[in-house]
A and B are shown apart, each in its own frame.
Chain A
């Protein structure tokens, strides 16, 4: 599975878009990019995943670069409840159940 690199921490003002980057330069053609988040004292929560195309759901948007070496998770209007650790995970389609979490990015939404 692809190694991913994320900043340790980021701040964002409430109401603004939060853009969380992830580098996955070793990702292979059949590996998806998954994003999970973990709010303090809770279990991780699935956000979104994608392969090549940009994806959007009710929680966030995922922008994957054309060369697939990096991606950005966008929370369009961050709220205080979005304060959490965000994990970017690269995983092949055959191993979709074997998620390997790194240390993630601590996003703090400021009032």
Chain B
């Protein structure tokens, strides 16, 4: 079974530039998450999707961050414009919906450096 796939693995941009991250969850997983992880800290939830609906986006900074999951499968997280403080690892995770045990499957993450 293929795992959660994220791209790009690494991205370096200058501040004020836009950036986008892509995630393809495990096949059949209806729930998709985007997490932010700063250096030395645990992951923090940005947004959670149930199929194509964003059911929890309370932690997503909506002035510059946006996300979409148009067909309920893969998802894109965008930052526009990027700021220096956005340098972090952006993690995508997925899980089954029915009979969920709370087990999330994470991708390897996309490391963003803003110069």
- Shortest C-beta distance, A99 to chain B (Å), equals 6
Chain B residues with a Cβ under 8 A of chain A: 4, 31, 33, 40-45, 48, 56, 91, 93, 95, 100-109
Interface residues on A, range: 20 to 34
Q: Which 7 A-B pairs have the closest CB atoms?
A: A43-B106, A101-B42, A96-B102, A46-B103, A101-B43, A44-B106, A43-B91
Contact of A98 among B48, B103, B105, B107 (CB under 8 A): B48
Interface of A is mostly: loop
Q: Roughly how many angstroms separate A85 CA and B42 CA in the complex, as a whole number? A: 9
A101 touching B100 by the CB < 8 A rule? no
- Shortest C-beta distance, A58 to chain B (Å), equals 14
Contact of A54 with B by CB under 8 A: no
List chain A residues, Cβ under 8 A from B4.
43
- Shortest C-beta distance, A87 to chain B (Å), equals 6
A103 touching B42 by the CB < 8 A rule? yes
